A and B are shown apart, each in its own frame.
Chain A
């Protein structure tokens, strides 16, 4: 429930979001609102003044303030009205035609700060640092000091509900969509699609109540010949009990991608017979190869350093037939710092003279490259080497999720469909406990929290890079990826709430919140790549080279008004499709005419009655 309530001077309006109140039929409502999940029409703000009892997606309006200045880094100061609800911040400058509108879900706000005190011009200002590479600055007159305080306080309260003991907005949002997005992923169905269980792999219920591992899903796929009791002993040897479990199996070679956390080797080089036997079982499950590759996502130095904390990596002495490879991907802190630098370089303006070296100095693309390169090596081992792989980092929920999901995206065309990609995220990221709550810091004011990191953003960036190299291999488009990221921050949907499956079950997210997939699947057209060709058994091997990696300008630089998104090839393709349909219709009509005419005039043979579908030889 987005509620418009207000308790503050100067203007107090309580009204309903008329996007909803004007809807008459249920289906209307879902389409209309679906198109504007967080944008309300600006007209509504200024015209609706009455409280409507028919409050569905309603929002509390906390402040509605005139004469606020938005200091736009591109076009300078803009005066207008600022509205803050428990879901969004909405600024509108009415002096301009068309109106300038700024509409921001509060979930995007990472930090609110007062800037300076009273300035010489008698204005006070405060800045918002956003998670989506934006900083916003507002100012208004000093005489409204009490108001400023209130705006500030309200922002502090509703941008950070978790810190204030309030639920995030996802729990208020009551939009109804035709599909229940929480049903997109069913672990059993997905494993069945992969042909599991089979003679070598079984689905265990040992973690049904999250007792073996509270950050793992309840359904786990493990080697047939390892009984549950042994699994528990293996869990004791793996960090956080995250034992190696199957993520993906090759439909032909039976080579598998398995994931886990680091072994608890420690400084003394502790060993676990159970763990060694377990990895041997994983290798044995694939008859094609007598080797097992262990990909440790970390730089070897970091992996070694982890021994001091009880962790470490598999020694090749202990694990016969296993080869350990370090993938040199840095930890969450390095990535966070890299994104911070990137933001400095791209927002608000780009320094013209040293763009490329500035970009290089952020190391962002270098990190992207290492992640992609790691995933490529995994995919190559599984596909070309027919060898099973074990992937881990330290805890197995950040870099490991990046690597397994990207490798699976390269290996399995199903994950390149819109629904398949949703399954991939639900499976490799959400069910396997990528800690979204901590990494994003939903509703938490502690913006310096060292647990925050753009791990998932990097993954989506990597996906975008692959789509650039294979423009016809993905069913979804760039807008789909941007939408996922935007709603990861928006807190409108429950999808990216919490840190693990266990928490989601406990919080009853599927019951109390709407899934992002419900929204996305209600308007698939918007997210579909018309160029998509479904080649089922096509493995993608992207070229992982700086020569092909690009900064995703459509995401990182989209706030710059000097940038126009690429003239969409997709749009043109859709136009051509529409034209073809139109022409086909006309040709068919004419064909019927001609057939009728020739039939009536004479029974001549050879009239063009056969299919008009052109069949031509292929170049």
Chain B
């Protein structure tokens, strides 16, 4: 595949020579900061972490430690020209969780050798360099020029071994939660009560489903508990919602005909009564017709207008999980692996050939079509997928985001992910490939979903309570293996593994069914409340954001007056297309809708302008109500690369003192000022005439501010802080080091080997 001859010579500069003059072995003792349950496996001193792009200038000296949780680098040195980077409570500045390590590459540049290390492997050379390719796209390099060769080798092997655990219970979360919550005496020590303080439903109890039924007005739907104790299906949640007309007996009877016993699950109800339902395929073809009819008629009965039910076959209409994984690998290759300058010329066509944006678009488009059916056609929709655990999660969440503004709030969004991903049994463990058992199971479905959400945020920046930073941090949290959210394939697996683990470690579970893994939604696990303010969108037009006393300030809802549809920001003379949906064309085409109203609506694309497209165009021509339905623009020209996520570590792509964060900065300051004034008003209102407010109302506690950037005095010009960049709140410094593999024979070697794809090939040929 690539010419690797025994005579392979390194063209790398002998960096160690000039460094020998100034190795600065630290005097103070360097020790890893450990979490409960975390132990040091191996460590090596006098390691150099590469920082600079072109020289060793600015590199850091310290100790490299492998624990059962992370790769930790401890140093007394400070990063040069440090840019802002958000701090994580579970991780040090230079730490990488083992679960985040995608690939471990060891290099001996004197011998011209390199090897991709996997679990339980041997290494026949002493590495001079270790490169960690991370799942969050970071590339981190360490050099061992001054380190003990054997210790260095041991640490590399340990990292490779521990980042590929064989059993879920070897994931750090178990030790962590076991130690943290139950201590050695079997009593809970000061752990955060997972979920306890959260103001959001986790959908693991019937009352929460009941509340959701009430919230959406789904009167003809009920909570079903036939799966309590996971007796009928291991992947379904214990409680879910079904049509009232289907009795438990019926359901039990139908169960066995569905793949993995996954019977239809209610997702959401439109205010017009149409329901969104998801289900697995029917495994028995003989039963197909009969069962389809029964399910459909039950759903129809639950519709106030007895509307039809349409079925959307996701497997037929959308890329599969392997396609998505392949696209993701390619887009990662383009964004962070390929040399920056060389990939410029063909950037657009490379992006296209990765197909990532195409897939993002196809999910958005399919979801928008379902939105049309629910909203425009008033029919109920069943999302059908073979197992109902992957594509349905994306589509059903997107549909709900587009239709229900509740899910665009922070807690609403989290409850949506909880409902449609965690409880519905998305195989996070397999899709994240935490155990690195089966590469075929790995697929970034959740990342794809987050990208779709980002596209909508990008188009409607005031419609969501949260920011793209929130989405990025949420994605990164997948690689910190302590959260119940991302550790398991389904709730049943969590319970089972918890019990096993508790038994083996003699941890009394008491009345609990499982170890109390914190959900990722407990953000205080990771971030200070100040840093959590980075999640808040200052532009958010929520229900709560509109209120000012006595209605003197009007709601921020768009009205025709202040936002004139497509024409804002265009000369009035250019108002070219003012149209109304109910034109003669619609009427003449009405007839052609009839054959289209079949259970499967995949044929609609045959129409020149389909009713769906007309529906979208019509919606676009009117002012957007951010508290109403939101349909993303689906022209390929309107989908963009999520730069913060994909390019945040790439130093060449970082805009110093620029990027959308500079607008965010200004908006936050203003929003903070508005909040402060509101709080002052409240204090004045609260003060009775008799009691003059003693607490000074001009300085309300800044702790309660939702905004990360606080208001400054209006007398000073507000300037953009030096540390802002388009990567904010992340920083490429120390997180992306591609120096020695760029523009050298080694780079060609690694590129040719497609290091993200074929680890085995490379590993076999390296020695």
Chain A residues close to B by CB (< 8 Å):
35-39, 72, 74-76, 95-103, 105, 346, 350, 352-357, 359-360, 365-366, 369, 469-473, 477-479, 482-483, 486, 531, 533-535, 538, 540-543, 545-548, 550-551, 553-554, 557-569, 571-573, 575-580, 582-584, 586-587, 590-591, 594, 597-598, 601, 604, 606-608, 610-619
Contact = CB atoms under 8 A, between A and B. Distances in A.
Contact of A567 (B340, B459, B653): B459
A254 B702 CA distance: 46
A359 B709 CA distance: 38
Interface string B384-417: 0000000000000000000000000000000000
Interface in B695-747: 696-699, 702, 708-715, 717-721, 726
Contact of B698 (A100, A567, A614): A614
Given A470-B662, A573-B670, A576-B674, A102 B576 contact: yes
Contacts of B609: 75
Contact of A548 (B583, B634, B653): B653
8 contacts: A72-B577, A469-B659, A482-B570, A540-B658, A545-B653, A553-B638, A563-B638, A567-B460
Nearest to B719: A535
Nearest to B562: A571
Contacts of B685: 590
Interface in B548-577: 548-549, 552-553, 556, 562-563, 565-566, 568-577
Contacts of A369: 344
A604 B692 contact: yes
B575 A39 contact: yes
Contacts of B583: 75, 95-96
A533 B717 contact: yes
A98 B346 CA distance: 45
Interface string B577-608: 11110011100000000000000000000000
Interface in B82-108: none
Contacts of B641: 547
Contacts of B693: 594, 608
A145 B696 CA distance: 82
Nearest to A590: B684
A615 B568 contact: no
Contacts of B617: 74, 561-562
Contacts of A560: 635
A472 B709 CA distance: 15
B764 interface: no
Given A36-B573, A548-B653, A616-B710, A606 B694 contact: yes
Contacts of B357: 356
B636 A582 contact: no
A553 B637 contact: yes
A608 to B, nearest CB: 5
Contacts of A531: 662-663, 666-667
Interface stretch (B211-219, B280-288, B347-355): B347-355
A561 B621 contact: yes
B459 A566 contact: yes
Contacts of A578: 553
Interface string B532-544: 0000001101000
Nearest to B630: A567
Nearest to B565: A564
Given A469-B658, A472-B662, A583-B548, A354 B670 contact: no
B313 interface: no
Interface stretch (B39-47, B232-240, B675-683): B675-683
A564 B633 contact: yes
Interface string B495-525: 0000000000000000000000000000000
A571 B563 contact: yes
Please list the 10 inter-chain residue pairs (A to B) with the smallest Cβ-Cβ separation, ordered nearest first.
A39-B573, A355-B636, A546-B347, A356-B352, A583-B677, A360-B348, A561-B577, A590-B684, A471-B663, A357-B349
Given A615-B713, A617-B710, 4 more contacts: A547-B344, A567-B460, A579-B548, A583-B548
B710 A354 contact: no
Given A531-B663, A572-B462, A582-B552, A543 B574 contact: no
B662 A96 contact: no
B663 A586 contact: no
User: Mostly helix, strand, loop or mixed at chain A's interface?
Assistant: loop
B657 interface: yes
Interface residues of B, number: 115
A608 B575 contact: no
A356 B650 CA distance: 22
Contact of A614 (B579, B663, B711): B711
B580 A97 contact: yes
B684 A563 contact: no
A483 B710 contact: no
A148 B637 CA distance: 38
B714 A613 contact: yes
Contacts of A608: 693, 696-698
A601 B692 CA distance: 10
Contacts of A534: 717
Contacts of A74: 577, 617
A533 B553 CA distance: 26
A103 B571 CA distance: 11
Given A540-B658, A573-B667, A356 B624 contact: no
A571 B568 contact: yes
A576 B643 contact: no
Nearest to B347: A546
B618 to A, nearest CB: 9
Contact of B571 (A39, A611, A614): A39
A618 B712 contact: yes
B579 to A, nearest CB: 6
B687 interface: yes
Nearest to B666: A531
Contacts of A35: 572
A586 B667 contact: no
B142 interface: no
B644 interface: no
B620 interface: yes
Contact of A354 (B352, B563, B573, B580): B352
Contacts of A606: 692, 694, 696
A396 B659 CA distance: 33
Given A472-B663, A562-B620, A616-B702, A533 B643 contact: no
A567 B624 contact: yes
Nearest to A349: B635
A471 B566 contact: no
Contact of A542 (B565, B655, B708): B655
B224 interface: no
Contacts of B562: 571, 575
B121 to A, nearest CB: 36
A592 to B, nearest CB: 11
Contacts of A550: 640
A554 B570 CA distance: 9
Nearest to B462: A572
Most chain-B CB neighbours within 10 Å: which of A542, A545, A612? A545
B709 A619 contact: yes
Contacts of B459: 564, 566-567
B424 interface: no
Nearest to A354: B352
B647 A569 contact: no
B660 interface: yes
A470 B566 contact: no
Given A97-B580, A472-B720, A350 B636 contact: yes
A612 B570 contact: no
Contacts of B539: 569, 572-573
Contacts of B636: 350, 352, 355-356
A469 B570 contact: no
A366 B719 CA distance: 33
B635 A471 contact: no
A565 B568 contact: yes
Nearest to B351: A356
Interface in B335-382: 340, 344-349, 351-353, 357-358
